[in-house]
Structure 1
Amino acid sequence: MDRPASTVWDANLYLKFADARTRPALDLMARLDPANGSRSGHAIYDLGCGAGNISRILAERFPQARVIGIDSSEQMLDKARAQTASERLSFAKGDLAHFRPEIPPLILYSNAAYQWLPGHIDMFPHLMKLLPSGGQLAIQMPRNHEAPSHALMRKAAEAGPWRDKLAGIGGIARVEDPARYYDVLKPLSSELEVWETIYQQVLTGKDPVAQYTASTGLRPFLEALDETERGAFYDTYARMTAEAYPTRPDGITLFPFRRLFIVARRT
């Protein structure tokens, strides 16, 4: 079985499902104002940029703008730098919970990152206040924590000898109802959109849902175990997800995935 082999964030495993992860990023990007990429002395930030795939697309969409990718993973940043040649695009290590831009931002963009931070909703007003009038905050977060893919993580954690080790492990932080984000951001916004989309993701291969989550929501559980336990735990979770998301006769596994989008313009 193709199991995760390391507790280190696996950039290659994450990128295995790049197409499914890129579509919501592009849907979010489509709501950005092109005028916000042309003001000199400012930058577009990709917060939680990972391996830089989306940062590079931002640089293409905004050909006059400086784009700066921020991430906490050195492995991801090394991969991003190795694949980037543009002088307008750079990457830096940073803490999203205490983000302080070196260059004034016109757009703060984040695709599937803030769901890792407990209490992220309280960080968003700070991000808005970093923007000038007319600047945009654009955030996408998975909101799939009540789906079988995520509920089964805890069930698998309780189903084996690793139970005590995993008792205190939490996965992705709860993403709140859309109205909560609307209420928090509305006082700082001249325009505000909050919406959800459920993507019917088409996956193939062995244990596709387990493979998909292994580099994201399942990762904290895997990191808490030694190599032998990790393999057995992963196998248990993979069997559970295979039952919850059966492979169709054509070899396709449909994986419904809910995502929350926020686009706010600074008053």
Structure 2
Amino acid sequence: MTRSSLGWDPAAYLTFDDDRSRPFHDLLARVGATEPRRVVDLGCGPGHLTGLLAARWPDAEVDALDSSAEMVADARARGVPARQADVRDWSPGPSDDVVVCNAVLQWIPEHPELVVRWVAAMPEGGWFAMQVPGNFASPSHVLIRELLDEPPWRGRVQVRDEHAVAGTMEYADAVAGTGALVDAWETTYLHRLTGPDPVLTWITGTALRPVRKALDDTEWERFRAELAPRLARAYPLRADGSTWFPFRRIFLVARAGG
């Protein structure tokens, strides 16, 4: 399952943009490259963060790619020279000194092997930085899977489970095996969301994309209507009208060749 197969909606994805973008900033802060020749944004999405790479390394060539035609079109509309490509077909070139992969690899089951292969093939001293959500065992995702296991949804949609990503130490150990210097950590962000059904709105732009694609409009509205009260119970409204949404994320930054 990749972005290209899900019919991504860039506008929905950019809802809560400030909260969604913060991990990218935290990831980029740990990349120590000074004068990279080429910077690659693997899975650039709508391109709203690619400009940060160009701003930090203005002399570097920036390459941005994404498997979703909708995302690539949105990125190009922002002036990002993005191209459509599947990250599984990508390999680092001899001048790819910085590679950033933000909130993409969770869609690719074989991504741990891809990461090891990429880091091993990068030029010595190159920087690889990745971030993936680590919240697949949280109520927001468990409730989706539970509802999909009930009639009339059972067997109709496949979504990611808690095995969609590895553990922080698993990533670190695997990448360190290439001889790279590894910096790995995890963070649980506590997002303060507002608006009606805010957690449902958040996951509509990401986790629910396979569900939306599989259902017609009437079924989709029914599914949302059944999921909304379950999410509201798991993430209750506070007295001030806001909702706390804990979100765990896993980070890894590696310097190739040690």
- Whether the 8 Å CA contact 2:7–2:68 is kept in 1: the answer is no
One-letter amino acid of the structure 2 residue matched with residue 14 of structure 1: Y
Counterparts of residues 213-228 of structure 1 (less than 5 Å): 213-228=203-218
- Could you tell me which residue of structure 1 aligns to residue 81 of structure 2? 90
- Could you tell me which residue of structure 1 aligns to residue 98 of structure 2? 107
- Could you tell me which residue of structure 1 aligns to residue 12 of structure 2? 13
- Could you tell me which residue of structure 1 aligns to residue 3 of structure 2? none
- Residue deviations 1:199-248 (CA, integer Å, cap 9, x gap): 00111111111110112112112211111111111111122111100110
| Shift >6 Å, 4+ stretches | none
Match among 30, 52, 59 for residue 64 of structure 1: 59
- Residue deviations 1:171-213 (CA, integer Å, cap 9, x gap): 3662111111112111224421110000001111111111101
From the superposition, tell whether residues 155 and 135 of structure 1 become closer, same or farther in structure 2 (CA, over 3 Å).
Answer: same
Separation in 2, partners of 1:164, 1:192: 40
Residue aligned with 1:32, SS: coil
5+ unaligned residues in a row in structure 1: which ranges?
Answer: 1-6
- Could you tell me which residue of structure 2 aligns to residue 171 of structure 1? 160
- Residue deviations 1:47-101 (CA, integer Å, cap 9, x gap): 11000011111111111111111101111111111112xxxx5211111122135
- Could you tell me which residue of structure 2 aligns to residue 121 of structure 1? 112
Separation in 2, partners of 1:164, 1:108: 37
Counterparts of residues 16-95 of structure 1 (less than 5 Å): 16-35=15-34, 38-39=35-36, 42-84=37-79, 90-95=81-86
TM-score, structure 2 normalization: 0.92
5+ unaligned residues in a row in structure 2: which ranges?
Answer: 1-5
One-letter amino acid of the structure 1 residue matched with residue 193 of structure 2: L
% of aligned pairs identical? 38
One-letter amino acid of the structure 2 residue matched with residue 21 of structure 1: R
Separation in 2, partners of 1:203, 1:59: 30
TM-score, structure 1 normalization: 0.89
Residue aligned with 1:247, SS: coil
Shift, 1:162, TM fit: 2.4
Match among 236, 243, 247 for residue 257 of structure 1: 247
- Could you tell me which residue of structure 2 aligns to residue 151 of structure 1? 142
- Whether the 8 Å CA contact 2:235–2:243 is kept in 1: the answer is yes
- Whether the 8 Å CA contact 2:186–2:248 is kept in 1: the answer is yes
Shift, 1:103, TM fit: 7.2
- Whether the 8 Å CA contact 2:236–2:243 is kept in 1: the answer is yes
Residue aligned with 1:217, SS: coil
- Could you tell me which residue of structure 2 aligns to residue 3 of structure 1? none
Separation in 2, partners of 1:235, 1:179: 38
One-letter amino acid of the structure 2 residue matched with residue 31 of structure 1: R
Matched, 1:241 2:240: no
- Whether the 8 Å CA contact 1:47–1:69 is kept in 2: the answer is yes
One-letter amino acid of the structure 2 residue matched with residue 81 of structure 1: R
Separation in 2, partners of 1:136, 1:255: 31
Shift, 1:25, TM fit: 0.4
- Whether the 8 Å CA contact 1:107–1:137 is kept in 2: the answer is yes
Separation in 2, partners of 1:123, 1:135: 16
Separation in 1, partners of 2:195, 2:83: 35
RMSD across aligned positions (CA): 1.6
- Whether the 8 Å CA contact 1:171–1:221 is kept in 2: the answer is no
Separation in 2, partners of 1:116, 1:190: 25
One-letter amino acid of the structure 1 residue matched with residue 28 of structure 2: M
Shift, 1:106, TM fit: 0.5
Matched, 1:204 2:222: no
